[in-house]
């Protein structure tokens, strides 16, 4: 729950549309909680960020878009997003004991609004198991894992994770922590300068940080065993404090202006830090130059080639320089040019996640087949038969092995899959998630893309499952082996998940036409040993036959067919 709340706080940073400072305040209130104990703080002027095309693209990529995020924040935090003025997140310094970092304190966040906060609504979202007390001039509400200080009608300090401590402990500990946050004593002079810049200059985004001597020393120890390439960046751990600021200037071609300042102990340390940054930029250029140079269509297949040209241009715009003990980096970016790169990158990440989940589904189905084999000394029939007519698919016989025993017990296995009773059962129950392909999400249509190969009883050469004939893992290991024989594929032509229909193949005839559901000519296959491979789906017929038959004795060179 605490992780979800923190993620919602992050969402608040970019989707609220209010701009400006809280009513009645002449200067920002967020700096009052920045002190010597603060390692990092992040402050956003949320309304400005929402105007940036890149931010709009990120929000649009979230399932449900802004509307879904607004709803989640209202339901989980009790806050109307459009009333939010600013959000600031704070992270305290790590405590190092005997060279080991201790568990960090939970981050905390300050919310300010343009309208009165509805604290009654906020408390309702915290549930019934909560207590509210007055602690000096503030009101404190504590629930199992998080707590909320009401600072005034327009601001609240939220602790999303209280470490599971009991109420009696927290009612004393949290007010003391808040008092220490507000004290602001013994702040290093350099840290004061950064806090002053954050509070007195208006930035769309501001992140300030300071590195404790203990943490710097711990990093030095880690670098002693770092590889040579990483050691080139060791000078950067000498940074004592700094900030990153961004201003959005709508209407300009380069509409996002970044400035990063890193403060070192002295000028020689800053010079070494500058050299490390220049080395990193040069290394980046070398890496980019190793990528394809040709102009490529903007699609997933050519993502790296497309992104390389953009990245090279951006690296040339990064300008690092030294001023005494500071390294200052400036960078001006055209956010509109970044949108297509970001959109494609998000799509690629989703593609990778969908591929991983689909592979997991296939692996679990194959493991279920092995468990079925343990119970019945044979693999599930590709389709059970009665008087030569199909009754049920292998997917039905695996239901008890994929946590669907309740659905399995509702079926009449001695009746065909499309009998009046069984059709009612299938129509009134959702398709089990394991049969839903994450890329297609055809669960509502009850279509699956996971299919196995089988041969008819009269076919001569064994291939895949055998219709009406028992198949064991022992039979598969005689020649080709379970690790060289394909059992299941993601076929681009889906079937009803409960229908006894798969890919019939007779090795004596031509190989059936397969299609891919992925971008490019590839598909995932599951072998009989439950391993998953990604291969080109348009392999030649001889190779496909070698993969699907299980007694031909062929040697498969996976390096030539695997993606």
HEC string of 242-283? EEEEEEECCCCCCCEEEEEEEECCCHHHHHHHHHHHHHHHHH
- Indicate the SS3 state at residue 209: strand
Q: Biggest alpha carbon distance in the chain?
A: 90
Q: Answer for the pair 21, 28: CB distance below 8 angstroms, yes or no.
A: yes
Indicate whether 216 belongs to any domain: no
Highest mean predicted confidence (pLDDT) among 79-88, 226-235, 447-456:
447-456
Q: At what angle do helices 335-376 and 53-61 cross, to 10 degrees?
A: 20
Q: Answer for the pair 474, 507: CB distance below 8 angstroms, yes or no.
A: no
Average pLDDT in the chain? 81
Indicate whether 273 belongs to any domain: no
**Pairing state between β 241-248 and 155-159:** unpaired
Indicate whether 495 belongs to any domain: yes
Cα–Cα nearest to 48, from 157, 197, 202: 202
Cα–Cα nearest to 526, from 277, 374, 409, 359: 359
Of the residues 156, 186, 216, the one at which a domain ends:
186
* pLDDT score at 19: 39
Domain of residue 139 covers 1-186
Of the residues 186, 204, 222, the one at which a domain ends:
186
72 CB burial (10 A radius; 0-12, 13-18, 19+): middle
- Indicate the SS3 state at residue 361: helix
Work out the pLDDT band at 367, boundaries 50, 70, 90.
very high
Of the residues 142, 166, 186, the one at which a domain ends:
186
373 CB burial (10 A radius; 0-12, 13-18, 19+): middle
Neighbours of 319 (CB within 10 A): 10
Work out the pLDDT band at 8, boundaries 50, 70, 90.
very low
Indicate whether 271 belongs to any domain: no
Taking only Cα atoms into account, the Rg of the chain, rounded to an integer number of angstroms, comes to 30
Indicate whether 177 belongs to any domain: yes
Question: Average pLDDT in the 63-81 region?
Answer: 67
Indicate whether 356 belongs to any domain: no
DSSP 29-79: SGGGG--TTEEEEEEEEHHHHHHSHHHHHHHHHSTTHHHHHHHHHHHHH--
Contacts within 8 Å (CB) and 24+ apart, 131-137: 131/167, 131/171, 133/171, 135/171, 135/174, 135/175, 135/178, 136/175
* pLDDT score at 518: 84
* pLDDT score at 103: 77
Structural domains in the chain (count): 2
Summarize pLDDT for 396-417 with one digit per residue, the tens: 999 999 999 999 999 999 999 9
Model confidence at 527: pLDDT above 80: yes
* pLDDT score at 23: 40
Indicate whether 425 belongs to any domain: yes
Q: Answer for the pair 320, 329: CB distance below 8 angstroms, yes or no.
A: yes
Indicate whether 8 belongs to any domain: yes
Residue indicated by tokens 């309740």: 406
Backbone angle region of 475, left / alpha / beta, with phi > 0 → left and psi within -120 to 50 → alpha: alpha
Work out the pLDDT band at 471, boundaries 50, 70, 90.
confident
Summarize pLDDT for 246-268 with one digit per residue, the tens: 998 888 889 899 999 999 999 99
> What is the distance between the alpha carbons of residues 361 and 468, in angstroms, rounded to a whole number?
26
DSSP 8-state secondary structure symbol assigned to residue 401: G
Query: In this structure, is the dihedral angle defined by the CA atoms of residues 61, 65, 71 and 77, taken in order, positive or negative?
Result: positive
């Amino acid at each position: 729950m605490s992780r979800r709340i923190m993620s919602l706080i992050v969402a608040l940073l970019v989707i609220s549309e209010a701009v400006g400072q809280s009513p009645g305040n002449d200067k920002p209130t967020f700096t009052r909680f920045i002190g010597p104990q603060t390692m990092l703080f992040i402050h956003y002027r949320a309304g400005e960020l929402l105007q940036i095309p890149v931010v709009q693209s990120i929000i649009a990529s979230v399932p449900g878009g802004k509307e879904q995020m607004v709803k989640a924040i209202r339901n989980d935090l009790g806050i109307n997003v459009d009333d939010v003025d600013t959000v600031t997140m704070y992270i305290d310094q790590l405590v190092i004991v005997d060279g080991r970092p201790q568990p960090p304190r939970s981050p905390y966040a300050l919310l300010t609004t343009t309208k009165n906060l509805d604290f009654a609504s906020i408390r309702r979202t915290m549930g019934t198991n909560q207590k509210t007390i007055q602690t000096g001039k503030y009101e404190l509400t504590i629930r199992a894992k998080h707590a909320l200080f009401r600072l005034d009608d327009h601001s609240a300090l939220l602790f999303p994770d209280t470490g599971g401590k009991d109420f009696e402990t927290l009612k004393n500990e949290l007010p003391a922590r808040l008092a220490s946050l507000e004290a602001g004593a013994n702040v290093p002079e350099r840290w004061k300068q950064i806090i002053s810049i954050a509070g007195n200059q208006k930035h769309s985004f501001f992140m300030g940080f300071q590195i404790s001597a203990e943490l710097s020393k711990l990093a030095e120890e880690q670098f002693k065993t770092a590889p040579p390439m990483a050691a080139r960046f060791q000078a950067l751990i000498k940074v004592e404090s700094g900030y990153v600021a961004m201003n959005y200037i709508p209407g300009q071609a380069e509409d996002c202006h970044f400035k990063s300042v890193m403060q070192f102990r002295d000028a020689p340390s800053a010079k070494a830090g500058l050299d490390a940054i220049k080395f990193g930029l040069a290394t980046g250029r070398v890496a980019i130059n190793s990528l394809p140079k040709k102009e490529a269509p903007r699609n997933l297949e050519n993502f790296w080639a497309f992104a390389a040209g953009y990245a090279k241009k951006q690296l040339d715009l990064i300008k690092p320089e030294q001023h005494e003990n500071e390294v200052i980096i400036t960078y001006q970016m055209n956010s509109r040019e970044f949108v297509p790169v970001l959109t494609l990158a998000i799509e690629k990440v989703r593609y990778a996640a969908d591929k991983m989940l689909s592979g997991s589904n296939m692996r679990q189905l194959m493991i279920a087949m092995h468990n079925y084999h343990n119970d019945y000394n044979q693999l599930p029939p590709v389709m059970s038969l009665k008087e030569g007519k199909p009754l049920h698919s292998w997917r039905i016989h695996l239901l008890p092995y994929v946590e669907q025993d309740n659905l399995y017990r509702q079926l009449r296995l001695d009746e065909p899959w499309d009998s009046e009773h069984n059709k009612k059962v299938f129509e009134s129950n959702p398709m089990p998630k394991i049969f839903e392909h994450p890329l297609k999400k055809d669960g509502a249509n009850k279509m699956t893309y996971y299919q196995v190969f089988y041969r008819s009883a009269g076919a001569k050469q064994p291939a895949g499952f055998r219709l009406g004939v028992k198949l064991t893992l022992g039979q598969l290991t005689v020649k080709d082996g379970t690790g060289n024989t394909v059992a299941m594929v993601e076929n681009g032509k889906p079937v009803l998940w409960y229908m006894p229909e798969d890919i019939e193949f007779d090795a004596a005839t031509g190989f059936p036409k397969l299609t891919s559901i992925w971008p490019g000519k590839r598909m995932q296959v599951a072998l009989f040993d439950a391993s998953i491979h990604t291969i080109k789906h348009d392999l030649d017929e001889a190779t496909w036959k070698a993969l699907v038959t299980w007694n031909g004795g062929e040697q498969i060179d996976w390096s030539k067919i695997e993606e």
